[in-house]
Amino acid sequence: MNVRMEGDSGEFQAALEELAEIYGCSLNKEGGLRIQVKRWEHKNLKVTLNEEEGAIFFNQPIHFFRALGLLLKKAAHTSTFTMEETPQFTMNGIMLDCSRNGVMKPDQIKTIIRIMAVMGLNMLMLYMEDTYEIKEQPYFGYRRGRYSQEELKELDDYADQFGIELIPSIQTLAHLSTFLQWDGNEALKDTSDILLTGAEETYELIEQMISSVMQSFRTKRIHIGMDEAHLLGRGQYWKKHGYRPSFEIMNDHLKEVLQITRNKGLDPMIWSDMYFRMASDKGHYYDLDARIPDEVIQEMPKDLQYVYWDYYHEDEEFYRAFMQKHQSFGTKPLFAGGIWTWNGVSIHYPKTFRVIESSYRACKKEGIQEVFSTLWGDNGAETNPFQSLLGLQLIAEHGYDEEPDRKKVRERFAFCTGADMEAFLKIGELDQPPEYEEGELEPANPSKYLLWQDPFVGLFDKQTEGRPLNTYYGDLHRQLEGAKKKVGIWSWILEVPSQMCAVLSLKSELNRQLKAAYEEKDHQTLQHMKEQLLPSLLQEVERLRDMHYEQWMKVNKPFGWEVLDIRYGGLMARLRTAVRKLSDYLEGHTPDLPELEEARLPFSSRKNGYVRCNDYRNIASANPL
């Protein structure tokens, strides 16, 4: 389609040229469909089309890009229409985790920015614990793939073309173990991952952090973290100062950091959980009975935004109750939801849909105007963040509709990405095997521990016994292979989940099969496993590793892949060891296999069935790694 933009579109010219080819249109100064672009004062965005010309009315830059997408989609099927949408939030976007080994390449972030713009999302937060450059601190982000100031500046300029605010999210208290591990940082350390509050060296470092990262961003907003400092004041701080209540330590530290941000004219935000944890008798964040003392609330700075993060609850009323607690602070909170990219080796879409739909409905009813959803990469960033594209579409539609239905999400997703919604939902089924229970705050992730658990040790055998997992994953592998044809240019995203299922179709029942055959002295079956099953599985694991490697190098900087290489290498080595041990046993060189004789116990005493374990060290062995 040839289009000719007139009116208030000049500032978007560079961005339009990038989008034109992707969305099948060309920009002409003469000829083609004439589109009048007008910036108006109304909150709504509006798109019209008749046989002679179209029109876009917008308030914020991001509304122009969403409106453009709406117009192009409709123009392909009809010659006359009028559409109007009411933005539900002033800020709606995502937070990309760049700190759990996967540091996304800038060019790949640009791809996400382009998609976000057409979806209508106007904020991208980069979560960087130590993955940004501080020239005075050479060990800050050393060998971790940190972004240079030039890379961040280029990304900020690029996002701005599309009406997207790029915001840095850093840590100024906890979550800094990868920096504090280095020799020479003892003066900065309270515990292994918490900075020593009250120390002059700590505030010199935080000054460097904030000065360095903000050089690259045009925004005045900065997320300064301060979450999950569970042992605040219980390490070196205790030795230096003795016991002090956590509330006091937290407030004193926050005051020091805010003095730095005030001096620089910045608008900071922090995660809110520490205040609630300190007020809870159980030390929990989501404790509805927790009451933050009035004197503490009075001391809480009012030139600071508090981010209520909650990726777990499926009850709209719970979210509303907790949002009301946050509003009692006297400031308007932000809300951070979750697109479940951190469940293990694949995204969990059923959980994503349930928590986003309930939490975003609550935000609208409670008047929360600023929201974003997190894409964490816990425990090695095993899940490709591009698996989240359908999640991005879901939050985008919630941003322009009080109650978007699945049909609208499906149609918009097809236009914005060229992919089929049902095909993407298939990726989320790796953790939906037979007898899986919905509704858990933290959903079970059997695909992760079935992949990484040792073939002889089998720590999760008891949790999955009696279930036809080989058949389930074999069927899902075939479905994912078929789904590749429905996702256009994104078929590469399905390659790793599909091959993961091919591996699990051989491996998910391997441990129980080995133990059963050994106990029954079924040497014929053991011989078959040694000569055919284990070699075939080893071949499929190697193929998976190669696919995962190619995908990682396409999306991320190379740093961090070595962790997954070690995991794959360990799994392949243990499969070879299994072949060797079976050979020794079957040939009479060893009288028994002690690993297969010991009784299997449940991994968790709290649950008989699928459990959640997202820590490789606890999956691979009962011994320290």
Q: Residues 302-340: pLDDT tens digits? A: 899 999 999 999 999 999 999 999 999 988 999 999 999
Q: How many CB atoms lie within 10 A of CB 617?
A: 12
Q: What is the extent of the structural domain holding 141?
A: 91-417
* Closest by CA position to 619, among listed 501, 470, 451, 500: 451
Q: Read off the CATH number of the domain in which 508 is found.
A: 1.20.120.670
Do 410 and 479 lie in one domain? The reply is no
At 309 the pLDDT is: 98
Residue 88 predicted with pLDDT over 80: yes
Residue found by looking up tokens 């719970």 in the block: 318
On the CB side of 33, how many CA atoms lie within 13 Å of its CA? 22
Cα distance between residue 313 and residue 138, in whole Å: 41
CA distance 617 to 230: 21
**Claim to verify: residue 126 and residue 221 sit in the same structural domain:** yes
**Of 103-117, 203-217, 429-443, where does mean pLDDT reach its minimum?**
429-443
434 Cβ partners below 8 Å, 6+ apart? 467, 468, 469, 472
Q: Is the dihedral of CA 464, 607, 568, 552 positive or negative?
A: positive
CB-CB contact of 493 with 487 (8 Å): yes
Task: Give percent of the chain above pLDDT 70.
Answer: 100
Q: What is the pLDDT of residue 247?
A: 86
373 and 490 within one domain: no
Among 85, 112, 128, the domain boundary falls at 85
Beta-sheet pairing, 45-49 with 53-58: antiparallel
For the chain, how long is the longest CA-to-CA vector?
A: 86
Is 587 inside a domain boundary?
yes
pLDDT at 75 (0 to 100): 85
Among 29, 64, 85, the domain-final residue is: 85
DSSP string, 261-289: HHHTT-EEEEE-HHHHHHH-TT--SS-TT
Same domain, yes or no, for 95 and 81? no
Among residues 70, 62, 185, which one has the least CA distance to residue 124? 62
State whether 381 and 468 are in the same domain: no
Q: Are residues 108 and 50 in the same domain?
A: no
Task: Check whether residue 494 and residue 592 sit in a common domain.
Answer: yes
* Domain contains 422: no
CATH number, domain at 119?
A: 3.20.20.80
Tokens representing 208? Answer: 């460097």
* Shared domain check, 601 and 510: yes
The total number of residues written for the chain in this structure: 625
Q: What residue has token string 């009301």?
A: 324
Query: Coil, strand, or helix at residue 336?
Result: strand
Query: Above 90 in pLDDT, residue 382?
Result: yes
Encoded amino acid at 281, one letter:
D
Residue with tokens 């990405």: 417
Return the pLDDT at 422. Answer: 98
SS3 48: strand
Residue 552 lies in a domain: yes
Question: What is the tens place of the pLDDT at every residue in 524-577?
Answer: 999 999 999 999 999 999 999 999 999 999 999 999 999 999 999 999 999 999
Count of structural domains within the chain: 3
In this structure, the answer to whether residues 374 and 455 fall within a common structural domain is: no
Q: How confident is the model at residue 299 (pLDDT cuts 50, 70, 90)?
A: confident
The pLDDT tens digits for 227-272 are 999 999 999 999 999 999 888 999 999 999 999 999 999 999 999 9
Measured from the Cβ of residue 474, the count of other Cβ atoms closer than 10 Å reads 17
425 is a domain residue: no
CATH number at residue 44: 3.30.160.230
Q: Is the dihedral of CA 514, 518, 520, 525 positive or negative?
A: positive
Give the model confidence (pLDDT) of 339-358 as tens digits: 999 999 999 999 999 999 99
Q: Which residues contact 315 (CB under 8 A, 6 or more apart)?
A: 358
Span 60-68, average pLDDT: 97
Task: Please compute the mean of the pLDDT values over residues 499-508 and round it to a whole number.
Answer: 98
Instruction: Read off the pTM.
Output: 0.97
Residue 424 lies in a domain: no
Contacts of residue 4, defined as CB under 8 A and 6 or more positions apart, other chains included, come to: 27, 28, 29, 30, 31, 32, 33, 34, 35
Q: Are residues 25 and 138 in the same domain?
A: no
Q: What is the pLDDT of residue 25?
A: 81
Provide the β-strand partners of residue 309: 336
Tens digit of pLDDT for each residue in 440-491? 999 999 999 999 999 999 999 999 999 999 999 999 999 999 999 999 999 9
- In angstroms, the CA 119 to CA 133 distance is 31
pLDDT higher than threshold 90 for residue 127 = yes
What does the pLDDT look like over 174-216, one tens digit per residue?
999 999 999 999 999 999 999 999 999 999 999 999 999 999 9
Arithmetic mean of pLDDT over the chain: 96
Task: Quick: pLDDT tens for 363-378.
Answer: 999 999 999 999 999 9
CA dist., res. 339 & res. 424, Å (int): 13
Distance separating alpha carbons of residues 15 and 114, to the nearest angstrom: 8
Residue 7, C-beta contacts closer than 8 angstroms, at least 6 positions apart:
36, 37, 38
As a whole number of angstroms, the distance between CA 152 and CA 140 comes to 16
Predicted confidence (pLDDT) per residue in 575-625, tens digit: 999 999 999 999 999 999 999 999 999 998 877 789 999 999 999 999 999
d(CA 123, CA 385): 17
The domain boundary, picked from 85, 120, 154, lies at: 85
453 and 395 in one domain? no
* CA pair distance 124, 339, nearest whole angstrom: 14
**Residue 116 belongs to some domain of the structure:** yes
Place 27 in a pLDDT band, splitting at 50, 70 and 90: confident
Whether 223 maps to a domain, the answer reads: yes
Is-contact 449 508, C-beta < 8 A? Answer: no
Cα gap 14→113, rounded to integer Å: 14
pLDDT digits (tens, 9 = 90+) for 207-228: 999 999 999 999 999 999 999 9
Q: Are 9 and 29 in contact (CB under 8 A)?
A: no
Residues facing 46 on adjacent strands: 57, 84
Q: Is the pLDDT of residue 388 over 90?
A: yes
Residue 433 in domain:
no
Nearest-Å Rg of the Cα atoms of the chain is: 26
Report the alpha-carbon distance of residue 401 to residue 359 in Å, rounded: 14
Distance CA 533, CA 539 (A): 10
The token duo for 422 is 């049902």
Instruction: Give me the pLDDT at residue 476, please.
Output: 98
Q: Are 374 and 488 found together in one domain?
A: no
Distance in angstroms (rounded) separating the CA atoms of residues 438 and 383: 21
Could you give the C-alpha distances from 341 to 334, 344, 491, 560, in angstroms and in order?
Answer: 21, 8, 18, 17
Whether 31 has a pLDDT exceeding 80, the answer reads no
Q: Output the DSSP codes for 56-75.
A: EEESSHHHHHHHHHHHHHHH
